């Protein structure tokens, strides 16, 4: 990471390559390299790296979640396209993954497809009624997009009864 940030990108890439060869399941390396590539707008290289690692089944849910969140936070057309492809691969491999489904709902929300997003959050909550992220995000959609303030408040209060100090729900 230091070499890359100092501009010694070729040297950094060689080291990343060596680490992947020696330890293909090194999630910290994948996260670090992905963050550098996202920050540098190296979309094609990032996509290739993610597809290669995913093809070797070397991306766990936690690592995938960290990378997906970074892509969604960057929120430009290129990062969202890669996020959509990456989420799609995750869902193809594990269609019932709570994390991958939440990521898809967040992607739809960012793209302004709030009805699709709300439908996914409702499915998540049907299976896992204690999912605070789904409760919070669905309450926000109900409040801000649908204007049903009472229903949004009731949903937020349901979550707060489970976790009274969850700051996103308090907000």
Model pLDDT for residues 5-58, shown as the tens digit of each residue? 999 999 999 999 999 889 877 889 999 999 999 999 999 999 998 888 877 666
Contacts of range 61-66, beta carbons closer than 8 Å, 24 or more positions apart: 61/90, 61/94, 61/97, 61/99, 61/100, 62/27, 63/27, 63/30, 63/31, 64/90, 64/99, 64/100, 65/99, 65/103, 66/31
pLDDT in tens, 74-116: 889 999 999 999 999 889 888 998 999 999 999 999 999 999 9
The model's pTM? 0.84
């Amino acid at each position: 990471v230091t070499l890359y940030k100092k501009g010694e990108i070729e040297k950094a890439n060689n080291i990343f390559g060596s680490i992947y060869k020696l330890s293909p399941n090194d999630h910290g390396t994948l996260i670090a390299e992905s963050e550098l590539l996202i920050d540098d707008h190296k979309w094609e290289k990032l996509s290739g790296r993610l597809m290669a690692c995913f093809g070797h089944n070397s991306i766990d849910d936690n690592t995938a979640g960290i990378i997906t969140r970074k892509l969604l936070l960057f929120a430009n057309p290129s990062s969202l396209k890669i996020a959509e492809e990456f989420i799609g691969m995750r869902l193809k491999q594990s269609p019932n993954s709570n994390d991958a489904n939440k990521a898809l709902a967040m992607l739809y929300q960012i793209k302004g497809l709030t009805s699709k997003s709300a439908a996914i959050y409702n499915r998540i909550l049907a299976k896992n009624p204690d999912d605070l992220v789904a409760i919070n995000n669905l309450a926000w959609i109900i409040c801000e997009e649908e204007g049903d303030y009472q229903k949004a408040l009731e949903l937020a209060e349901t979550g707060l009864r489970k976790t009274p100090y969850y700051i996103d729900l308090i907000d």
